[in-house]
Chains A and B, each alone.
Chain A
Amino acid sequence: MSAVLFFIAAIGVIAGAVGVVVLRNPFYSVLALVAHLISLAVLFLLLRAEFVAAVQVVVYAGAVMVLYVFVVAYVGGESDSIGERLRESGPVGSGLRLGGAIVGGALLVELLIALLGTGLEATSGYGAGYVAGPRTFGTPAYIGKLLLTRFLITFELASFLLLIAAVGGVVLARRRGGIGEDEPEVFVPLDVPRPRGTGTMAEGVGAGNGRAPRTDHTQASTVHTGAGQPS
């Protein structure tokens, strides 16, 4: 029974992966990834990692992919099919794509050999024994206990990373001269070591002394439209 489920889930995983790589429309790629993630969650369940499977569905498929959907809807962008891309001669040329494919293939072969062909006895087994229970391997209680005892520092660092990423995301996506535009000039002691024109990040986003230099906005646009050309 579990073998059948395994094959169904595995086919779902691989099909989703192929879909991400092959599909032309990025939106379809996102959807393919969602399918891939859910199939992967099933695989996790088969491996007795219930909590991780749940986290996968809720966080990964539920939050990160939703974020992706939003951005793809905003940005969009068309891609051409892989066959066409392999044949066209852009600045990189089809040679690179072909070479990329070959290298990826080589990597796959190696990994397969490494993981399967070396005769590891352990992997040919079914894993350690499993006894069901409220606190056994894979349950939330088990994970929680591990997180707060053995992997405490990892846990803290991960949360730190999330904080940084959140702040970074907000900063990156903010409009120039945005939030603080209508505020009255308030003297902030922190501005003293950040004089105008020194290129601090605060000034870059319009929060430093005297707010952002206005000219950069239009200048950046005119400069960057031609930035894509080979120089």
Chain B
Amino acid sequence: MSTTTYGWLVLAFPLLGTLVTAFGYRYLPGRSAGWIGTAAIFLAFLAALGALISLQGHAPGSRQIVSSLWNYASTMGIDAQMSILVDPLSVFMILVVSGVSTLIHLYSISYMDKDRGFVRYFSYLNFFVFSMLLLVLAGNFLLLIVGWAFVGAASYLLISFWYRRTTATKAGIKAFVINVLGDAGLVLGTYFIFKHTGTLDFLKTFHAVESTAHPAFGHATNNGDLVAGCILLLVGAFAKSAQIPLHTWLPDAMEGPTPVSSLIHAATMVTAGVYLIARMHPLFERAPAAQDVGAVVGAATLLIAGTIGLAQTDIKRVIAYSTMSQIGYMIMGVSVGAYAAGLFHLMTHAFFKALLFMAAGSLIGAMGGEQSLEKMGGFRKAMPFTYACFIVGGLALSGIPPFSGFFSKDEILLVTGERGGWHWILYVAGYIGAFFTAIYTFRMIFRAFHGEPVSEARELEGGHLHHAAIPRNPATGEEEDTDVGFPGPNHAIAERALPMRIAMGLLALGAVGAGLIQIPKVDFVIDDFLRPSFATAKGYEPHTKTGLLVIGLTLGTLIGLAGIALAYRIWIVGGEELKASTAIRERTRPLYELFVNKWYFDELIDALVVKPMAAAGAFARDTFERVFVDETLVGGTTGIVRAGSAAVRAAQSGFVRYYAALLVLGVAGVGFYFLLQT
């Protein structure tokens, strides 16, 4: 089978899974929908492996293969085709996406057991995976935008999965609105680029831009249209990857089920922005202004998100802000030209973040649905497996060797430092962010697993899984039931569910071992693999000065360990009644307020955007619509017609004599006219 056939199969299996589960909604017995969904994604993963093997069989120079199924339209100079591009970058992405997705589907079979929306969940999840694969396999802007939009839609469907919770539906709408803003940016950016290149196809666009004879945007860099287009593409990337200032939807998106958070908001969808910048690297390299914007925003996000993570109490939101922060690293990485490093970090991050979310899901299950860190404590003895997973994920996240996060994160910072100039600020910011990361990650772990066991932990040690008497919304405390639209009555924990343990175990192996394939100066598996995609990228080859390399690696390790030590000091040694952390909180009260209120971004957007739009809408409804349209235009028209017809209707009185009189009058009139004629 040819490489591109594997590519189409990768798309076909999840789509088939969606359709089968969707249409077989009533007929699929028990949990078979879950297994069908998982099998579909697993088959996609196998097809991705096939694509990988087949692709490596080609010569390095010809590893960018396009396959087109049919033409949508070829009018007015727009070549809209349904084509996929199979090259190392897309194969890398589909492997990561389908691999992690398979494990998450497996995990979900146990997690969503007994939920009334079980089949619907797997249908949506398969649809999401299909959309993400479409996005990364797209060979032209058209399918990219289609995949982008589908991913946003799937995210909305899954965030508001428990649709009877108002918090969930509001979060879904918020996510969708911000994503649509990004979609608009993406489409406008495409327009700006299309204006000069005249083609929607990726390879043709890149050739047009890079050609030495007639470059589409001129020989100089920073052509106005190109910069505008790239910045608009960045808007799309920021919205999808939750960077400042379009990040407010990500914490709210934690309203969705935990596997959803794990898949969409950690491993796959939020990485779409990173993929976009990497894919469009020929364009960005000719618009360094846009690259700088990306790098600055990435660095800002990683700092701000890190500080917010220090103050959050909802365990899922801590992990969400950590995701935002790590994506900031990736965006910064691909914006400064560290493509291989950024994408490598994407892969390792997918492993350990998905693992952290899964473990968090298990912990929430043990707490009977409660998500607040303030109510958790001392689960170490009751949940050893979950604790081990948390530790592995946390160490990877904090960048401690030999875990994978260490290699990927430090390589990004290395390349950033090598760029020199003002990029040193980003370099320093990166390490400060790493420090914060270590602190809040281990704050979370120590608070949840160390200290005095809470009642739920004691129950579990005694062998009984805690269930709340009345199910409640963890955010607002509202009462719920376990019927369709709300979470089911079952709470799954890893210690008791084999599928969960398998999934988490495999991810833990990945988190530990994935770093080994890209140890600096030793092996360059990812670099070599991705090179054909970045053949024309400047600075792709790392020429690290060994001095900087050593400094960077040691600094990274030291900062990570320092962060863990600080967290230990505050929350374990000073952890009785949270004495130490409360003391620090009191001393840094203003900073604490800023962090816990998420730097007031929500309030800012509310005041700047939401309230004016709501006022405009109210004005339109109350004044314009009511007065102009309803009363004047519509009412006026009907009024005139009514009056006219009432006037005419008066002639139909029903009196025969009246009609006769009119008749005679008419005859007399006609006669009079003819008399005048003669």
Q: Do chains A and B touch in the complex (CB under 8 A)?
A: yes
A residues touching B (Cβ–Cβ < 8 Å)?
91-92, 96, 99-100, 103-104, 106-107, 110-111, 113-114, 118
Q: A-B pairs with CB below 8 Å: how many?
A: 33
Q: Which B residues lie within 8 Å of A111 (CB)?
A: 671
Chain B contacts with A in 576-622, Cβ cutoff 8 A:
none
Establish whether residues B658 and A110, one from each chain, have CB atoms under 8 Å apart when the complex forms.
Answer: no
Establish whether residues B655 and A110, one from each chain, have CB atoms under 8 Å apart when the complex forms.
Answer: no
Which B residue's beta carbon lies closest to that of A111? Answer: B671
Interchain nearest-CB distance for B394 vs A (Å)? 82
B648-678 CB contact bits vs A (8 Å, 1 = yes)?
0000000101101100110110011011001
Q: A113-B675, A114-B675, A118-B678 are in contact. Are A106 and B668 (CB under 8 A)?
A: yes
Contact of A103 (CB < 8 Å), options: B655, B668, B674, B678: B668
CA distance A107 to B663 in the complex (A): 11
CA distance A113 to B674 in the complex (A): 11
Establish whether residues B664 and A110, one from each chain, have CB atoms under 8 Å apart when the complex forms.
Answer: no
Q: A96-B661, A100-B661, A118-B678 are in contact. Are A107 and B667 (CB under 8 A)?
A: yes
B residues touching A (Cβ–Cβ < 8 Å)?
655, 657-658, 660-661, 664-665, 667-668, 671-672, 674-675, 678
Establish whether residues B671 and A110, one from each chain, have CB atoms under 8 Å apart when the complex forms.
Answer: yes
Q: Which A residues lie within 8 Å of B674 (CB)?
A: 114
Q: List 8 A-B residue pairs with CB atoms under 8 Å apart, sorted by A's residue number.
A: A96-B658, A100-B657, A100-B660, A103-B664, A110-B668, A111-B671, A113-B675, A118-B678
Contact of B655 (CB < 8 Å), options: A92, A107, A114: A92
Known: A107-B664, A110-B675. 16 other contacts (CB 8 A): A92-B657, A92-B658, A96-B657, A96-B658, A96-B661, A100-B661, A103-B661, A103-B665, A103-B668, A104-B664, A107-B668, A110-B672, A111-B671, A113-B675, A114-B674, A118-B678
Residue of B658, B665, B678 with most partner-chain A CB within 10 A: B665
User: From DSSP, what is the main secondary structure of chain A's interface residues?
Assistant: helix
Q: Which A residues lie within 8 Å of B675 (CB)?
A: 110, 113-114
CA distance A103 to B665 in the complex (A): 6
CA distance A104 to B657 in the complex (A): 12
Which B residue's beta carbon lies closest to that of A105? Answer: B668
Which B residue's beta carbon lies closest to that of A230? Answer: B654
CA distance A111 to B655 in the complex (A): 26
User: From DSSP, what is the main secondary structure of chain B's interface residues?
Assistant: helix
The 7 A-B residue pairs whose C-beta atoms are closest, nearest first, are A107-B668, A110-B671, A100-B661, A106-B668, A103-B665, A103-B664, A92-B655
Q: Which B residues lie within 8 Å of A107 (CB)?
A: 664, 667-668, 671
Which B residue's beta carbon lies closest to that of A97? Answer: B657
CA distance A110 to B655 in the complex (A): 26
Interchain nearest-CB distance for A109 vs B (Å)? 9
CA distance A110 to B678 in the complex (A): 13
Interchain nearest-CB distance for A114 vs B (Å)? 6
CA distance A113 to B661 in the complex (A): 21
Q: Which A residues lie within 8 Å of B655 (CB)?
A: 91-92, 96
Which B residue's beta carbon lies closest to that of A107? Answer: B668
Interchain nearest-CB distance for A205 vs B (Å)? 25
Which A residue's beta carbon lies closest to that of B667? Answer: A107
CA distance A116 to B26 in the complex (A): 94
Which A residue's beta carbon lies closest to that of B670? Answer: A110
Which B residue's beta carbon lies closest to that of A110? Answer: B671
Q: Which B residues lie within 8 Å of A118 (CB)?
A: 678
CA distance A103 to B666 in the complex (A): 10
CA distance A92 to B664 in the complex (A): 17
CA distance A99 to B665 in the complex (A): 10
Interchain nearest-CB distance for B668 vs A (Å)? 5
Residue of B658, B668, B672, B678 with most partner-chain A CB within 10 A: B668
CA distance A197 to B387 in the complex (A): 82
Interchain nearest-CB distance for A40 vs B (Å)? 22
CA distance A107 to B660 in the complex (A): 13
CA distance A106 to B655 in the complex (A): 21
Interchain nearest-CB distance for A94 vs B (Å)? 12
CA distance A118 to B676 in the complex (A): 11
Which A residue's beta carbon lies closest to that of B666? Answer: A103
Interchain nearest-CB distance for B592 vs A (Å)? 79
Interchain nearest-CB distance for A15 vs B (Å)? 23
CA distance A103 to B678 in the complex (A): 22
Q: Which A residues lie within 8 Å of B660 (CB)?
A: 100
Interchain nearest-CB distance for B614 vs A (Å)? 50
Q: Which B residues lie within 8 Å of A92 (CB)?
A: 655, 657-658
Interchain nearest-CB distance for B470 vs A (Å)? 60
Q: Which A residues lie within 8 Å of B672 (CB)?
A: 110
Q: Which B residues lie within 8 Å of A96 (CB)?
A: 655, 657-658, 661
Establish whether residues B671 and A114, one from each chain, have CB atoms under 8 Å apart when the complex forms.
Answer: yes
CA distance A99 to B662 in the complex (A): 10
CA distance A107 to B678 in the complex (A): 18
CA distance A93 to B660 in the complex (A): 15
CA distance A42 to B675 in the complex (A): 32
CA distance A106 to B669 in the complex (A): 9
CA distance A229 to B569 in the complex (A): 99
Q: Which B residues lie within 8 Å of A99 (CB)?
A: 661
CA distance A132 to B657 in the complex (A): 47
